[in-house]
Amino acid sequence: MNTDEHRNTDKQKALWIAVWLICVHPCSSVANSFSPNPAGNFGIGTTTPQYLLSVKGTVGAEEFIVTNTGWSDYVFQPGYRLRPLSEVDAYIQANHHLPDIPSEAEVKEKGVSVGEMQAKLLAKVEELTLHMIQAEERNNRLEEQNQELRDRLARLEKGAAGVAPAAGK
């Protein structure tokens, strides 16, 4: 048995103990809704658990820590292609959801990985941040150009005020 298999077995044992204490113990009011299957998956409120722990209903927790996912720092790498907003708009018009984010139908059919979705949402926030930085840079350039044009206009008006109109006109 390799280390990962041993770790998974230990996790399953710990989960069995926790579930027994919570769900199977005679004092528990939910003992009848607990259902392990032959694959070692546990269900609460379901008799067909598809995951190590499947719960039919709402789960309340103070905190979840997701560790088995990639993160979104790749958005800030030099080779990352930031989609122009016009391209994002065209995608939204055609698909009715953001690029790289599952559609409502996909989520209803397959569910969504909380860790994966957090990483995808963070990537979208980072992309928006990059777009805002670009917009600020464009805005600053336009303000500088606008000031240069105002200064030029003021010089031209000042120069024109010093020139007397041609006689006879």
Q: Evaluate whether 96 touches 144 at the Cβ level (below 8 Å).
A: no
Amino acid at 57: G
Q: Evaluate whether 136 touches 144 at the Cβ level (below 8 Å).
A: no
Q: Which helix (H) or strand (E) holds 8?
A: helix 3-19
At 79, list the tokens: 């080779």
Q: Please give the Cα distance from 44 to 57 (Å, whole number).
A: 9
**What confidence category does residue 17 fall into, taking pLDDT thresholds of 50, 70 and 90?**
low
Amino acid at 108: K
Sheet holding 34-36, edge to edge: 34-36, 42-44, 53-55
Q: Which helix (H) or strand (E) holds 69?
A: none
| 55 phi, psi to nearest 5 deg | -125, 125
Tokens 């041993």, residue? Answer: 6
Q: Where are the domains of the chain?
A: 3-55, 73-161
Q: What is the mean pLDDT of residues 146-169?
A: 85
pLDDT digits (tens, 9 = 90+) for 27-85: 545 545 666 788 888 888 888 888 888 888 888 888 888 887 789 999 999 999 999 99
pLDDT digits (tens, 9 = 90+) for 105-125: 999 999 999 889 999 999 999
**What confidence category does residue 18 fall into, taking pLDDT thresholds of 50, 70 and 90?**
low
